[in-house]
Structure 1
C-alpha cells in the first residue's frame, strides 16, 4: 500500500525496516495491530523523522488511504505535535519510539470507540471524522510521555560515548521504554532529572601522575623522562644549568585514577513516602550517571528495618540492564522502619566482597534520626577503604555527621541539591 507522504516509498528497504520496527513494538505493547498497517507505520515514522514532511495532493490519495491522510494532516497542523517534532527530526531511535506510541494510542482510541458503540468493528471502519478527532487529542495526550522517553534516552546515552565500550539499542527495548514512560513515578523522577543542566564537563575526573601516562599539559621540573624536546636542543651548558635548578620544561603526564564502586544506600522507610522517595530515586539515577562518566561500578541497595536486594550495575551497562533498573525503581514503595547501622555494614560487606581495593564511596540518603554504633561503623568503613557521604533529608543526625566524609542536608529537595551531591 502506498504512502500519503511525498518521496516516501514503503517498499524501500530502509522504510520497510522502520515500519516493521514500529509494528513490532505496537504488537508487543498493545497485543495486536488492527488499524495500524505497514503503510501507516512507515508514515508515522517519517512524519516525525523528516525535517519537512509533505503530504501528497488529495487527488492522488486512494480512497482506502483517506483515513491515513486526514490523520497525518491533522497531526502536522497541530502546534503541540510541532513541539514534539523538534526532538525527533533526524533522530531515528526517538522517531521509532514516538511513532510506536502514536500507533499504540490510535489502536487504544479505536478500541474505546468500538466499546462505546457496542459493536466490534473490523479493520478499515474508522471514519475520516473519527481519525481527525483522535489526531486532534493525541498530541496533548502523548506530550508528557514523549518528554519522559527523551529523558530515558538521555540517561541511557550518558557515559556511553565513543571509547567507553557501551552500546545501547533503545529500539530493542522500545515496548518497555513506552510502558515505563507512562508510569507516574517514573515521570516524576525524570521530570526532576530533566532540570539538571549538562554538568559533565564541570565534573573533574580524578587523575594520578605517571611519567608514562597521557599528556595533559606542561610544567617546570627536573624529571628527564618527561622533558620536552625543545630543551634537549639547547646548548649543553644551559641544559645542565636548568637541570640543576629543576627548571626544565616538562610534559605533565597523568593516568585516570582507579576508584572502587559508587554505592547508593537509599532509605525506603514509611517516613520517606511521597516527594522524599521520588527525590531519592532521582538522586540515585544522577549518581549512576556520574559513576558511568568516571567508569566506576555502581551498587544500589534500598533499606528500611532490614537491607533489601543488592543491585549491581557494571560500568559497561547494557540497555536491558538499565530498563530492568528503572522497572525495579518503579516497584519500590516506601514502608517499614529504619536501621542505618545494619544498612551501612551490609554495604561495607558488599564492597569488601568485591575485587577492588581502591577507594569506594557510599552515598547514604535517609531522613532518619536513628541512633548508630558510630565507633563500629567508623572502623568498618576504614577497614574497607570506603568514604561515607551522608545526605539527610529534612533532618539531622550528629552521630552520622561524625563518621561521614561529607555530610549534606537536603531541605528543598531540588535539582541544585542533587548537583551538589554528585559533585565529589
Structure 2
C-alpha cells in the first residue's frame, strides 16, 4: 500500500485546491494595498506600478534580509511555486487597503538582521496590517496560537483589515496553459488523491502529526467556505468534503485515545487503532499499572552473564573531564572566546543574541564519565538477546485472554525495536498446529497485528511450540542469547519425557522460560522459571 514517508511535509488538500483555483475559479490582478502570497513561499504588499514590498526569501535564509520594493517578476522568481501567486480578493475581484501600502513604503530599507525584527515575510506583512485602523469584522480575533498555519493566520488578519473573503490566483499565461490541459494526463489525478487519502490511515499517530492534520483540516474548511458560493463541479466539492471527513475521523480517533496512545508509546496508525477495537484502551491501562508485566518485559532476553541487576551509582552533576570537540549550542559555560567577541560590537551583538536563541553558538563538546556510563548502558542493552514468544490461540483463549496476549506482544515488540532486538512469534493450538512470524529490523506494528489475527479453535498442546522454540534458538543466527515467553490461559502441562529433555536443552542453551497466564489464577511452574498472572 502507498504510504506517506514524510507525512509532515505532505499536504493532502493543496494539490486539489490549486487545481480548483486554476481551472474553475476566476483570476484577478492586484490593486494598491492588496496582500499577495505564494504557496510554500513569501508574502508582501502590492503598492502599484508593478511593485511589491516584502522581505525576499533569499534574504531571509541568509539572515541578512531587509525590506525591499521589488518588481512582480522578482517576487515570482523568489517564490517556490511561481504558478500559485494568490491575491486578497472578494466576489468582485482584488481588494486592498491604502493605509497598509503606506505603512509598507515606510518600512523600505529597514534591516531584518537575523530575523530579530520580523520572523519571516508573513511577519512583516502582518506588521503592516496592524497599522490599519479598519476592522471589517467585529467578531475578529487575532489568534496567534492554535491549529492555523502561518499562512492561515495571515489570511485571518487580512480578512479583517481588507475585507478579503477570497484568495484568487494572479492572472498569467501559466494559468491558461493548465486550463488547456484539463481532461488530459496533465489534469488532476483523482486516483492518486484517493491513494493519498487512504495512506493517511497508515501514518503513525503522535502530537506532531495530529497538529499537522488539524492545520490541514482548518485549511480545507476555510477553502470550502470560500468557494461555497461559486460554480465548482459537484465531483470536486465531494473530494473536498471527503478530505475533510478523513482528517476529522483521524483527529477524533486520536483525541479519543490520546492517553492510551501516549501510554503505549506511539507508532500506532488510525487503521491499526480501529483494528485493535475498544478493548485496546483497557488493555493498555492494565499493562501500565501491572507491575508484574513491566518486570517481565525488563527481564526478557539475557546478557552474557544473565540478567543484569541495576546498581546504585553516583552521577556527577557537572562534567568537566575532557574536551572532545566543537558543537553548536547555548551553554554559556562552554562558549568559545571567539563568540564572546561579538558582544563588543553594536552590530554583531545582535548576531550573538540570535545564535543564542537558535542554540547555534559554538561551544566546547565535553566527554567524560557521563558519556562512558551511557555507553555502558548501551552495552547492557546490546548484550540482551531475542525473544521467542509462544502464544496459545486455542478456543479457551477467546475474548479477554487473547486480547491481553496481543497487547503484551505489542508492548514487547516496542521495547525490542528500541533495543534493536529480534522477536519470533509462534501461534499454537493443539498438537501439530503452529504458525510462525519472524520480526526483525522492520518490526512494523501492522505486520504483527495482521499475524495475531490468526488463531486455532481446538485444544492446547505445549510441546509443539516449545520444540519449535528450541529449534529456532539452536539453529537461527544471533539467537544464542534468546529466552522463551509462553502466553496462555491455563496450567502448562507437558509429558515427563519431554520435561526431562527440555531441562537438558535449557541447561545446554542457558535459556530461561517465562510464562504469562492471561485471565486465569492457576499458577504452577512446572517447566517455567517465572510465572506471571495478568
State the TM-score, normalizing by the size of structure 2: 0.41
TM-score (norm. length: structure 1) = 0.50
Higher helix share: 1
